[in-house]
Amino acid sequence: MEFSVKSGSPEKQRSACIVVGVYEPRRLSAVAEQLDEISGGYISNLLRRGDLEGKSGQMLLLHQVPNILSERVLLVGCGKERELDERQYRQIISKTINTLNETGSMEAVCFLSELHVKGRDTYWKVRQAVEATQDCLYTFNSLKTRKEEARRPLRKIVFNVPTRKELPLGERAVAHGLGIAAGIKVCKDVANLPPNICNPAYLAEQAHKLAADNERITTHVVNEAEMESLGMGSYLAVGRGSVNESLMSVITYNGAGADVKPIVLVGKGLTFDSGGISLKPGEAMDEMKYDMGGAAGVLGAMNSLAQLNLPINVVAILAGCENMPDANAYRPGDILTTMSGQTVEVLNTDAEGRLVLCDALTYVERFDPDVVIDVATLTGACVIALGAHATGLLSSHNPLAHELLNASEQSGDRAWRLPLWDDYADQLESPFADFTNLGGRAAGTITAGLFLSKFTKKYHWAHLDIAGTAWRGGANKGSTGRPVSMLTQYLINRSGQEQGE
């Protein structure tokens, strides 16, 4: 898919299709008014007849509009002008792209990037349009023997900006949008693979491939023998019931001087989570291949980082593991010694992600990190609390939390902060070990965060619970690619190359 920006009058565009907006009720946008005037009132006559009201998402495709050089004009309903917000804008773009792709317009000039969206500039509108377009056109059919493809798919789209002065801003938006979309695609592709293909070794292969393709990146894979020597007893226990070896992939991106402390990203990589001895119910258990969504998101963000070539240092951990029931599997009642030396009483083997992450969070101390952000499909409680719309955010460092929340708002990949108060700590008390791995049903996301916080005292840390946002279930099952956009926006901001508010 090819993207570009230009600044020009709609009547001079030679394209398969021009895309313009119509507000409710039947009110032409400024660009649509220009086309209407050139066409001798052709468009306004259609609206008076009731062909299009202008409600958000309505579409009307016109052919051979008088005096217009383009073959088609697509009128897009944008709702009430003063009510057009970020969510509605993204939905309009998505509906537009689907319409173009289904109607054989292989190229288009889109003037929707000139719409007024409350509090958003040209950079934001163009970048969101690029990301939304790539999301709409994404398919995962590599394992199908018969692949359905559009006969005349959309191949090129030009976003128009109001003035020539804004062209550099638009070009930067396209570059950032493509970089982020590339990372989102990597995340989706890896997460959507079945667990018999995507196991810890496969994650390690992807980490090595990233290093082979980029001179700024190196990869080291920590195997079980090395984990044993490091004392990572908690991580190793979780994978004991699986025939697939636990492997922790360490990806290092050097974009700044050696004296610059790295940002560390840690992704939970449970390539399949059966629950172990505390076996999950059979219904929808197939979706537990998405329990490596944190690792997929971190891998995607590293791909975006490499494409954008940002001047920062980042270390990424893909904590690969598989949780299976077996005669050798760890049990409820076991007491594990973590890499930090702290002991954990296992109450439920399905609360395994935190047992893998805690050793990974201790391991990263060696990098003397500036900040550490872990990403995990950690708790069903987060789905209950926030649904599928917002990622749960917990942090022991207010400035880091605020930076992530800001990045989430800028990117549209939204997060919501939950408290990390000591009031909840009693729920993790154990009579036999330093603490348990489960705090009960109440405040499950918070107690999981508190568990992780016990291993992050030596640096600034934040935790992203993506259990509700990493994938969609049911008939439209598939990875969402989140939180690649938020993480990459955070890295862009930290690099000083952010644009827009």
Catalytic residues, by residue number, are 280, 354
Question: 């391991």: which residue's tokens?
Answer: 363
Q: 3-state SS string over 355-420?
A: HHHHHHHHHHHHHCCCEEEEEECCCHHHHHHHCCCCEEEEECCHHHHHHHHHHHHHHCCCEEECCC
Residue 458 per-residue DSSP state:
T
33-40 own/partner pairs: CB under 8 Å, 24+ apart: 34/9, 34/10, 35/10, 35/11, 35/65, 35/68, 35/73, 38/11, 38/67, 38/68, 39/65, 39/66, 39/67, 39/68, 40/66, 40/67
Residue 266 per-residue DSSP state:
E
Q: What is the CA radius of gyration of the chain?
A: 25
Q: At what angle do helices 167-192 and 484-495 cross, to 10 degrees?
A: 140
What residues form DSSP beta bridges with 392? 416, 465
Distance, CA of 259 to CA of 251 (rounded, Å): 18
Phi first, then psi, for residue 225 (nearest 5°) are: -65, -40
Q: Is 309 helix (H, G, I), strand (E, B) or coil?
A: coil
Q: Is 233 helix (H, G, I), strand (E, B) or coil?
A: helix
Question: 């009731």: which residue's tokens?
Answer: 50
Interior CA angle at 295 toward 200 and 277, to 5°?
60
Phi first, then psi, for residue 483 (nearest 5°) are: -105, 45
Cβ atoms of residues 241 and 330 within 8 Å = yes
Distance, CA of 387 to CA of 273 (rounded, Å): 21
Cβ atoms of residues 315 and 251 within 8 Å = yes
Report, in this order, helix, strand and coil percent for the chain, each rounded to 5: 40, 20, 40
